[in-house]
Amino acid sequence: MSNSRQPDLFRARKFVQSLRALVESLPSESEKQHIAADLDLVIEFLTEIKKTVNSLPSQEGAAVVRSAADSLETQFSRARASAPLAAALGLRPADRRPKSSRLAEADFDRARMLLERLEKLPIDELRADLENTSATAPRDLHAIAALMGIGSTQRTSRDALAHQIASKIGNARGYETLRRGTEGTK
């Protein structure tokens, strides 16, 4: 019998010890007030965040603003196109560049002669000649490109045109060499 009572007593002591530890860990009245004040600060902060989130516009509400911004952008573009209106609104007017005329037959004639001369040059000299502004004018490059079937616009850079022309001439030479090589082996 004594064996069965000992575990019960041991459990009761353990319970009492746990109860004492719990009572000792309870906060004092000042600690409770401090914790409550901290919780009030956190609640106040979260309430402010909630108000801020509620005051933010939604995507649905922003559609009107987006439409108004698009309209303003259109109006400013129109204003920049008109020098007096741009000046009145304090905007810098859009630059008006004169459009260059299309290539004339004389440009193509000059381009044909240049192309004949360029095709005879070694590839390094060819590239240097195309990149040299005093040897080949931009208008000539555009005309040569048109003759060779290379698409270009007024915005195509000189370097890009020179590279495309030189590459096309170099490729044509390579194909011709291959063609001659395979014809000789038949």
pLDDT, tens only, 52-107: 888 887 877 777 777 788 788 888 777 777 778 777 777 777 665 545 557 788 88
Q: Are residues 109 and 180 in the same domain?
A: yes
Whether residue 113 is contained in a domain is answered as yes
Q: Are residues 111 and 85 in the same domain?
A: no
Q: Are residues 116 and 154 in the same domain?
A: yes
Residue range(s) defining the domain that contains residue 154: 105-184
What pLDDT, on the 0 to 100 scale, is given for residue 11? 83
What pLDDT, on the 0 to 100 scale, is given for residue 135? 77
d(CA 32, CA 160): 77
Q: pLDDT tier at 108 (50, 70, 90 boundaries)?
A: confident
For residue range 35-67, list pLDDT tens digits in order. Answer: 999 999 999 999 999 998 888 878 777 777 777
Q: Is the pLDDT of residue 173 over 60?
A: yes
Per-residue tokens: 16? 């009492």
